[in-house]
Amino acid sequence: MRKSLLILLLFSSFGLFSCEKKEIATEVTPIELSIDVVDSLDLEILGNPLMTSVNKEGSLVSFFDFPSSETIITNSNGEILGQFSKKEDTPDAYGFKLELPVVWGKDKVILIGMKGIFIYDLSGNMIKKIDHAEAMSSAGSSSAPGLTAEIISLGGKDYLLTKSFRGRNTYAGEQKFYDTYKAVELVDLETGEMQDFGPFEPETKFLDGMGYVQSDYAPAYNVSSGKLYLSHGSDPTLYIYDFSEEEAKLDTAIQLAIPDFHIVEGLPRTEFSPGNVTINGGTAAIQNIVIIEGKILIQYYPGIDPRIMEEARALWSSGQEEEGSAIYKKAALKAKPGIMVFDEKSFSYLGTLDFPAGTNAGGFMADKDFLYFQRIPAEDVEEDFLRVYKMKLTEK
Instruction: Please tell me which of 29-33, 57-61, 135-139 the model is most confident about, judged by mean pLDDT.
Output: 57-61
Cα 131 from Cα 325, distance rounded (Å): 42
Contact yes or no for 216/234 (Cβ under 8 A) = yes
Residue 210 lies inside a defined structural domain of this protein:
yes
58 inside domain: yes
**What pLDDT sits at residue 14?**
37
230 lies in some domain: yes
Does this model's pTM top 0.75? yes
Query: pLDDT tens across 346-387, in order?
Result: 999 999 999 999 999 999 999 999 999 999 987 777 778 899
Q: Is the pLDDT of residue 225 over 80?
A: yes
Over residues 175-182, mean pLDDT: 97
Domain of residue 138 covers: 6-302+337-395
Mean pLDDT of 84-108: 95
| Residue 312 in domain | no
Torsion angle of the four alpha carbons 114, 91, 149, 214, in this order, in degrees rounded to the nearest 10: -10
| pLDDT the model gives residue 199 | 98
pLDDT of 26 over the 60 cut: no
| Residue 33 scores a pLDDT above 50 | yes
Contact between 293 and 35 under an 8 Å Cβ cutoff? The reply is no
Note whether residue 317 is domain-resident: no
Q: What would the 3-class secondary structure string for 110-137 be?
A: EEEECCEEEEEECCCCEEEEECCCCCCC
Q: Which residues pair with 83 in a beta bridge?
A: 72
Mean pLDDT of 32-47: 93
Neighbours of 8 (CB within 10 A): 11
- Average pLDDT value for residue range 218-237: 97
For residue 16, the model assigns a pLDDT of 37
The rounded percent of the chain whose pLDDT value lies above 70 is 92
Residue 253 neighbours by CB distance under 10 Å:
21
Q: What whole-number distance in Å separates Cα of residue 229 and Cα of residue 291? A: 9
Q: Are 342 and 254 in contact (CB under 8 A)?
A: yes
Confidence at residue 28, expressed as pLDDT on a 0 to 100 scale: 54
CATH of residue 59's domain is 2.120.10.30
Structural domains counted in the chain = 1
For 261-323, the DSSP string reads: --PPPPB-GGG--TT-----TT--EEEEEEEETTEEEEEEE----HHHHHHHHHHHHTT-HHH
Residue 176 located in a structural domain: yes
Residue 326 falls inside a structural domain: no
Please say whether the beta carbons of 284 and 303 come within 8 A.
Answer: yes
Q: What is the rounded CA–CA span in Å between residue 342 and residue 224?
A: 14
Q: What is the pLDDT of residues 183-205, one digit of tens each?
A: 999 999 999 999 999 999 999 99
pLDDT tens digit sequence for 294-311: 999 999 999 998 888 889
**Lowest-pLDDT range, 5-19, 106-120, 307-321, 358-372?**
5-19
Residue 275 lies in a domain: yes
